[in-house]
Amino acid sequence: MSKRTEISEIGPFGLVERLTSGLERVNGSTVVGVGDDAAVVDAGDKYMLFSTELLIEGVHFDLTYCPLKYLGHKVVVAAMSDIIAMNGTPRQLTVALGISARFSVEHIEELYEGIKSACKEYSIDLVGGDTTASLNGLTIGVSAIGEVAKDRLVRRNGARENDLVCITSDLGAAYMGLHLLERERIALDGHPNPTPEFAGHQYILRRQLKPDLRLDIIKALEAEGIVPTSMIDLTDGLASDALQICKSSGCGMRLYLERIPIAAETRAMADELHADPIVAMLNGGDDFELMFTVPLEQRDKVLHFGGVDVIGHITTHGAVLVTPEGGELPLTAPGFVHK
């Protein structure tokens, strides 16, 4: 009998590496294949960027507390965030749906209201897709297309020693918003007239249900004449994504805990749930912010356009979180879990 390997043994990234190892490119126009936020194809005077997201009900979203219109918005952001992470501009989108009999035409129209609203907000064309029947729930597949000037392409593999590590906005809010929603779902299960207690938590709820696509940061970088040496979108948690930069760039990283912003609302929710806001910040995911690196001499230019925090720097090896007391904790990513 052949050996059975559990996916949890190698993790999601290890699975992708195993499935795609040995692939050979047969088309000269393929610039970047598997292993970054998006694939890169040479289109003559520019690069085209391609990425795909697959979201499954019960794994990536729960319609008990996630309105379909908000879900439509979020799937656009989730797909296009990979384009942004390559320093690209989103252009087109296709959407494929697996729909069970539980859903009506009106339900799918509500989902598309959110998709179309997000496309309008970020100047994206919805250009196609597919629909099919599903035995269980709702499955959403989104393919994102973007473009970038050849001299502005940014990958994960360009970070160099002494580069500054920068992030956009605070982290962990989406994770605590999810925990609030889960708490209320459990508390109100079976209640004839459910009334969730959301007062004072609008910020973390918005970060979970209706995140922003940080196209503004890409425009600000271009306006300042900055091309980051590496970049990644923060969807799997700061620790996991930082380790991806280190692996791709063959470097280490020192992050300083006291420099990493955590919103007051995130800390308050963590206190209410007896949770650790630092865990939310490090491993929460779904923030859809950006982490990027720039040479030390560009520090003032980066800080000039606001909304960016310098939280550390690149080293030759090792990835650690430095506490205010000077202690060093190794950055580790949580393992893969089937839901």
Give the tens place of pLDDT for each residue, 46-68: 999 999 999 999 999 999 999 99
- The DSSP code for 334 is P
Q: What are 26-41's pLDDT values in tens digits?
A: 788 888 877 778 999 9
CA atoms within 13 A of residue 217's CA, in its CB half-sphere = 29
Query: Using CB atoms within 10 A of its CB, is residue 145 exposed (0-12), middle (13-18) or buried (19+)?
Result: buried
Would you list the DSSP string of 34-64?
BTBSSEEEE-SSSEEEEEEEEEEBTTTB-TT
The CA distance from 132 to 144, in Å, is 20
Helix-then-strand count for the chain, H and E: 10, 13
Handedness of CA 133, 134, 137, 139 (dihedral sign): negative
Contacts for 276 with CB less than 8 Å, ≥ 6 apart: 270
Confidence tier at 192 by pLDDT (50, 70, 90): confident
Question: Which strands, in side-by-side order, build the sheet including 39-42?
Answer: 30-32, 39-42, 47-56, 138-148, 89-99, 125-133
- Say yes or no to pLDDT of 335 above 70: no
Q: Distance of alpha carbon 232 from its chain centroid, rounded?
A: 8
Question: What separation in angstroms does the CA of 303 have from each of 74, 290, 299?
Answer: 28, 15, 6
**pLDDT average, residue stretch 139-158:** 97
Q: What are 213-248's pLDDT values in tens digits?
A: 999 999 999 999 999 999 999 999 999 999 999 999
Q: Which domains does the chain have, with CATH numbers?
A: 7-152 (3.30.1330.10), 164-330 (3.90.650.10)
Q: What are 250-299's pLDDT values in tens digits?
A: 999 999 999 999 999 999 999 999 999 999 999 998 999 999 999 999 99
Token couple for 73: 């918005």
Q: What are 93-113's pLDDT values in tens digits?
A: 999 999 999 999 999 999 999
Q: Are strands 289-294 and 328-330 parallel, antiparallel or unpaired?
A: unpaired
